């Protein structure tokens, strides 16, 4: 039992106490002036709720289903790199907490535990997040390893042809930890001696030529469903459906890529309209409260993913901290649903929220 934290944001303070500054800044920070980082959270505060009353809410069912996989709630664990910098057990601890909570975890390509270590650590549904490298053969090997290890989908991150400029990492001369997934495949030594070694490494390896035609390449090397992570416009949502992907994640990489892109919650509805119900739309960015989860579902997301709060929980208390973060958000969502008159996730509708745009109408 974690004493002290009564909501997930309070884990941030606990994490700050235990992490070296370089690593705390890496997990917390984002691109340039961090305008979008603040907006990702603030934009939720400008959406209000429209509760309905005199509905029997004595039983609330949070369960849902994504791509055929049942989950205890629509709260998933986002792909976060370098987790052993937060806690010695790294992604394995996160995976155990996610599995125990009966929810889906995304494992980052740049995880510090290997694809296989995470897979064999516990049962649970996991998706593999993919960065595509100039060395396509390396990306292909990672995809095949994920498929062999029982991961259920490939989440292709599409908002990172290059790494965003993160000033804190530059000042701290941030260094990537050992990335065991690449042992024998690719050197992850960065050459830049002056700034963020991470930025230098990303420039060395990421394939910025990646484009819509490459969805065909990815399909040709895997039988797993492909989810695109990083869609922010209806135009790209339509293209994604045409490209035959199985789902979309509305994401701005937790504001770590391009500053002054909109808060993800403010473009969710546009993307949902572009998709028109043909594939599931997931959401991440700025989820810090159960009410945030509720708002995202009301605006059309089928589930949300949580990034930094999970890492703060991991840093503060390892697996138990991640468990607590998931539980807190789940409990808050349950209470929000109860007080809004929604007995199941399907009962949450567009009419349960009022956005800024609604107020201008
Ligand atoms: C990320 N994110 C990310 N995304 C991805 O596709 N691959 C990755 O390796 C990482 N790594 C990563 C590290 C850190 C420290 C952060 C904060 C984020 C983005 C992540 O999956 C997700 O989009 C955001 O974290 C969601 O925003 P919140 O919940 O952190 O506000």
Provide the ipTM.
Answer: 0.99
* 154 ligand 1 Cβ < 6 A: no
Give the residue from 168, 71, 107, 132 showing the smallest Cα distance to 310. Answer: 107
- Which atom of ligand 1 lies nearest, measured to the CA of 285? 27
Q: Which residue has the tokens 């990537």?
A: 176
How is 96-143 classified by DSSP, letter by letter?
A: HHHHHTT--EEEPTT-SS-HHHHHHH----EEEEEPPBSSHHHHHHHH
Q: Is 307 annotated as a binding residue?
A: yes
CA 284 / ligand 1 centre spacing (Å): 9
With cut-offs at 50, 70 and 90, classify the pLDDT of residue 120. very high
Q: Which residue has the CA at smallest separation from atom 12 of ligand 1? A: 80
| Residue 310 to residue 262: CA distance in whole angstroms | 23
| Residue 79 to residue 127: CA distance in whole angstroms | 9
CA 360 / ligand 1 centre spacing (Å): 32
Average pLDDT over residues 272-288: 98
Q: What percent of the chain has pLDDT over 90?
A: 91
Q: At what angle do helices 10-18 and 21-28 cross, to 10 degrees?
A: 150
* 315 ligand 1 Cβ < 6 A: no
Q: Is 300 annotated as a binding residue?
A: no
Torsion 299-301-303-306 (CA) sign? negative
| Residue 216 to residue 258: CA distance in whole angstroms | 27
CA 156 / ligand 1 centre spacing (Å): 13
Torsion 169-173-174-180 (CA) sign? positive
| Residue 197 to residue 189: CA distance in whole angstroms | 8
Q: Which two tokens stand for residue 4?
A: 């002290």
Whether the predicted pLDDT of 106 surpasses 80 = yes
Burial class of residue 100, CB neighbours in 10 A (0-12, 13-18, 19+): middle
CA 255 / ligand 1 centre spacing (Å): 9
Q: Is 124 annotated as a binding residue?
A: no
With cut-offs at 50, 70 and 90, classify the pLDDT of residue 1. very low
CA angle, residues 344, 346, 348, in degrees to nearest 5 = 85
pLDDT tens for residues 177-217?
999 999 989 887 777 667 888 888 888 899 999 999 999 99
The per-residue pLDDT of the chain, averaged, comes to 96
* 108 ligand 1 Cβ < 6 A: yes
How is 213-264 classified by DSSP, letter by letter?
A: THHHHHHHH--S-EEEEEE-SHHHHHHHHHTT-SEEEE--GGGTS-TTSPPH
* 286 ligand 1 Cβ < 6 A: yes
- Which atom of ligand 1 lies nearest, measured to the CA of 78? 21
Q: What percent of the chain has pLDDT over 70?
A: 98
- Quick one: pLDDT at residue 198? 87
């Amino acid at each position: 039992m974690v004493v002290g934290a009564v909501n997930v944001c309070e884990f941030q303070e606990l994490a700050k106490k235990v992490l070296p500054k370089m690593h705390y800044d890496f997990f917390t920070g984002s691109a340039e002036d961090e305008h979008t980082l603040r907006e990702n959270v603030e934009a939720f505060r400008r959406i209000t709720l429209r509760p309905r009353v005199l509905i029997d809410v004595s039983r609330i069912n949070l369960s849902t289903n994504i791509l055929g996989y049942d989950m205890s709630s629509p709260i998933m664990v986002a792909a976060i790199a370098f987790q052993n910098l937060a806690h010695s057990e790294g992604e394995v601890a996160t995976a155990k907490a996610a599995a125990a909570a009966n929810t889906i975890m995304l494992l980052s390509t740049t995880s510090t535990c290997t694809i296989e270590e995470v897979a064999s650590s516990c049962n649970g549904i996991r998706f593999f997040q993919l960065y595509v490298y100039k060395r396509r053969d390396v990306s292909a090997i990672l995809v095949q390893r994920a498929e062999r290890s029982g991961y259920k989908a490939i989440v292709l991150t599409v908002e990172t042809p290059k790494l965003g400029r993160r000033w804190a990492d530059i000042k701290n001369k941030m260094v990537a930890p050992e990335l065991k997934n690449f042992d024998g495949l690719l050197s992850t030594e960065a050459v830049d001696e002056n700034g963020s070694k991470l930025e230098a490494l990303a420039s060395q390896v990421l394939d910025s030529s990646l484009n819509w035609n490459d969805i065909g390449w990815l399909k040709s090397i895997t039988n797993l469903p492909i989810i695109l992570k990083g869609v922010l416009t209806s135009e790209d949502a339509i293209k994604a459906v045409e490209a035959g992907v199985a789902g979309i994640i509305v994401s701005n990489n937790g504001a770590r890529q391009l500053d002054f892109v909109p808060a993800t919650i403010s473009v969710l509805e546009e993307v949902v309209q572009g998709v028109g119900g043909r594939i599931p739309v997931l959401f991440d960015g700025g989820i810090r409260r159960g009410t945030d989860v509720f708002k995202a579902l009301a605006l059309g997301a089928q589930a949300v993913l949580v990034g930094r709060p999970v890492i703060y929980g991991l840093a503060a208390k390892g697996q138990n901290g991640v468990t607590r973060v998931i539980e807190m958000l789940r409990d808050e969502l349950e209470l929000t649903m109860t007080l809004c008159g929604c007995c199941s996730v399907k009962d949450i509708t567009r009419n349960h929220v009022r956005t800024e745009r609604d107020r201008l109408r």
